[in-house]
A and B are shown apart, each in its own frame.
Chain A
């Protein structure tokens, strides 16, 4: 019974990891290309909203997932244009985009559905839950893997693909070179502008994916500002994973676990305290792991 409970918590941890991990991967590709993208939060939120809106109007799971992902890309292209092409200050663009998307989704929520705050309806289609044929009959593993959607599995595939792209393809190598020293890359005939804009747009697609996983994964609903800082937690996870997709999986799982812990502990500790746990954990994790790295650098 108790073991089963632990597996149930782990299950919930893995499911809440998905959105954070996608944001972290988006952050890492931007960092690798030398762009500091703060608009991850907005890129995610638009994905969550679009997925629910398309879901409601077309009744198609496939379309809502695709449109959710693309909408993240659309917002990211605005970021790419203003921040990378026209070299506007990153913090200004990032915070403006985040606030803009927050307001836009809230208005559209009212215009399209006539509600304020949040939209939930039983007629919304849910993503099918995947049960693997043989594994689902093993007692504890079945609890661990219960209710996973295709997005949860896909996120790990994306992380691995990104790892291969960054470290084992020429294109990825060029992208990293743009981030390390764009002048040197330019002298090799690599257009740093197009690599950077591309990286930002890909980060938008990834964040859109994360947003869809948020609004159509564990629950199927949209709430104003439902990302609640997950874009920034993703940035922290990327920081901890040192821009390496495989390490990012580990870092994101840590934050996903904190999220799950917060939900589980709500029965024993006042919810106001547990809700602050993921954010406290982020700060503490950054202090602990960065402290270690800072010391190592000094010793070397």
Chain B
């Protein structure tokens, strides 16, 4: 009896959590079908194709999971910063910086493979964290809005990295392709199946999700950052040092973003290719999965796999139909747009806090 009771209450709670994202997803697909009809295709046909070529075939499922790796880790980085109330839009830039630095270390260090790997991981994560910390630092010292500075730093990172792979780091054998030399074979993350890009990075991702879940749920830092995000005045009253929380949240976020870039390079591409993280928009997709799941790590993991599937499916239908790839972005952003109306019901009770969170964003 109690067991049944437990299950029914659990189901009830699950419905409560899920019904609003579900409606948003339906709205997203509805808008998507309007666009598909305008393009002169049948929505049902396109959507069947899309899901067949993202989840329901072994080859495409592995592609979806491979693509979910950087997206998930980016959303972890976003969750850590946003929960503390610091709107880090610079995950893309931190990813680029971390990825490029670790690639350079991997190419130019001559040492035993495992030492090189450790150096590359440490260097990449430190670079990403520092890049994020710079934004936190200028916010604290000069009151520069984190939203604007991190976003500008995305463009800066991309162009500077582009300079490096066009000139000093360019692979002389690659012709017109703007890319670095490949990293040595022995530092690459091994693949799980022969002939698929799916690699052990996915299991590292699961560990990272678990770690983020643990850190934000069970540690002092997690509690303090949650408090700062919900109500900075109360947190301050309770003795939380706002600056320390901001610095650690931003550094953690940047390091995670760097991890995402590194896993993509060490596990899939094996080199830095110009604009590789811009054109794939991993960071923005990660942001969206963070928003869909209301900044919950496990939910964001599921959402990342879902969105990654949408993109893989989108690429597949672009090859066979008249539908441009951006249909998947359209569906995704519609989902986040309407999921945020759910945030409204949460936020209504905390209207006051929201005003203060707005102040943080405004840099007041």
The chain A residues found within 8 Å of chain B, CB to CB, are: 31, 36, 38, 82, 86-93, 95-97, 99-100, 102-104, 106-107, 110-111, 116, 228-229, 232-233, 235-236, 239, 270, 272-273, 275-276, 279-280, 282-283, 286-288, 290-291, 293-294
Contact = CB atoms under 8 A, between A and B. Distances in A.
Chain A binding surface, main DSSP class: helix
A92 B362 contact: no
A236 B151 CA distance: 11
Contact of A88 (B332, B333, B343, B351): B343
Contacts of B214: none
A99 B331 CA distance: 10
B142 A104 contact: no
A82 B341 contact: yes
A107 B326 contact: yes
B144 A36 contact: no
Given A90-B361, A95-B89, A99-B329, A229 B152 contact: yes
Chain B binding surface, main DSSP class: helix
Contacts of B38: 111
Interface of B: 35, 38-39, 87, 89, 138, 141-145, 147-149, 151-153, 155-156, 159-160, 162-163, 166-167, 284, 287-288, 291, 322, 324, 326-327, 329-330, 332-334, 336-337, 339-341, 343-344, 347-348, 351, 354, 358, 361-363
Contacts of B167: 270
A272 B159 contact: yes
A90 B144 contact: no
B148 A282 contact: yes
A38 B35 CA distance: 25
A124 B144 CA distance: 41
B337 A97 contact: yes
A294 B144 CA distance: 10
Given A232-B152, A287-B144, A86 B324 contact: no
Contacts of B334: 96, 100
B330 A89 contact: no
A36 B340 contact: no
Nearest to B164: A272
Contacts of A290: 142-144, 363
Contact of A100 (B287, B330, B358): B330
Contacts of B363: 239, 290
Contacts of B322: 110
Contact of A103 (B156, B326, B341): B326
Contacts of B339: 92
A232 B330 contact: no
The 10 closest A-B pairs by CB, nearest first: A276-B159, A103-B329, A272-B163, A100-B333, A92-B340, A291-B142, A99-B333, A103-B326, A88-B340, A103-B330
